[in-house]
Structure 1
C-alpha cells in the first residue's frame, strides 16, 4: 500500500497538474519529489503516469493566450523549487522571431491549461502590455 501511495505523491509533484498546487500533506516517512544532491540518495523507483497527467514537454513551446484569445507569449520553461514543486511558468513575451523578446515568470496558480483535440493551449487573464511591463526574468535556454 505504501509504494503506490509514494508513487502517486511523486507523480503529483512532478506533473503539470501540480499547477493547481494541492497542499496535501505527504505520507509519514515518505519524501516526494526529486532531491537536490550530487549523488542519488534513494534506490530507484518507478511511477505510473495516468492518461490525465500533463507532461512538461506538451507545455514547453505552447502559445499563451489571454481571455480574448489573443496571443500574449509562449511557455519557455517551468521553475521547480528544490525538485518538488512547480513555482513558476517562464513565458517569453514581445519580440519577433526570437529578437527583442523578454521573459517573465508567472505564478502557476494564475495559469490555466487546456487540451482540445490534442492541441494544447495556455490561458492567462492579462494583456500584452501588462506582460511587456512585468518584472523581467533573466533567462538562458542553455543547460549549463
Structure 2
C-alpha cells in the first residue's frame, strides 16, 4: 500500500504541473496585442507632411520666413521632440540644420483652416548662429 500513495500522488501532480505551464503560456500570449487600424485621421492629429517642407516664421521679425522644416525628431513614445529646420544658405546651398524643440513652436491654422502656420520666438540671425543639429553624430569637429 505504501507504493500506491507515491504513484497516486505522482499521477495527480502531472496534470497540476501541465495546467500551471499552460496558464503561464496563456499569460505570455495575452501580452501581445493585435494591431488596430484607422480609417480616417483622428480629431486633433495631423500627418508629418503637414509640417515637413513648410516654412517656419519668426514671431520677432514680423512673421518673416526664417527656415524650412526638413525633418522631425520623434521619441520612442511617439511624441515629436523637435523639428529640424534648414536655415541660411541660398537655394539649398550652404544651409545648415537646427533642431528646435517642439514646445518652442506655435502652430496655428491659416485663414482657410487647411494648412499650419508654424512660428518660433527667434530671429533668423538667432537660428543661423545656433549650433548645428548633429543627426547621427557624424559632424566633424571644425
TM > 0.5 fold call: yes
User: Compared with structure 1, are the counterparts of its residues 119 and 49 closer, same or farther at alpha carbon in structure 2 (3 Å cutoff)?
Assistant: closer
Which of 106, 116, 119 matches 1:123? 119
C-alpha contact (below 8 Å) 2:98/2:131 kept by paired residues: yes
* CA apart distance, 1:83: 4.8
Structure with greater Cα Rg: 2
User: Compared with structure 1, are the counterparts of its residues 139 and 100 closer, same or farther at alpha carbon in structure 2 (3 Å cutoff)?
Assistant: farther
Q: Secondary structure at the match of 2:49?
A: helix
Which of 51, 58, 69 matches 1:59? 51
* CA apart distance, 1:49: 2.5
Runs of 4+ off more than 6 Å: none
Residue 90 of structure 1 corresponds to 84
The structure that is helix-richer by fraction is 2
Counting only pairs closer than 5 Å after superposition, residues 126-141 of structure 1 correspond to structure 2 as 126-139=122-135
What TM-score, normalized to structure 2?
A: 0.63
Counting only pairs closer than 5 Å after superposition, residues 4-83 of structure 1 correspond to structure 2 as 42-47=33-38, 49-67=41-59, 68-83=62-77
Greater relative CO, 1 or 2 (CA 8 Å, sep 6+): 1
Distance 1:96 1:112 in 2: 26
C-alpha contact (below 8 Å) 1:103/1:139 kept by paired residues: no
* CA apart distance, 1:84: 2.1
User: Could you list the runs of 5+ residues in structure 1 that have no partner in the other structure?
Assistant: 1-40
The answer to whether the aligner puts 1:99 opposite 2:97 as a matched pair is: no
Q: Secondary structure at the match of 2:93?
A: coil
Q: Secondary structure at the match of 1:113?
A: strand
User: Could you list the runs of 5+ residues in structure 2 that have no partner in the other structure?
Assistant: 1-31, 137-142
Count of residue correspondences: 100
What TM-score, normalized to structure 1?
A: 0.62
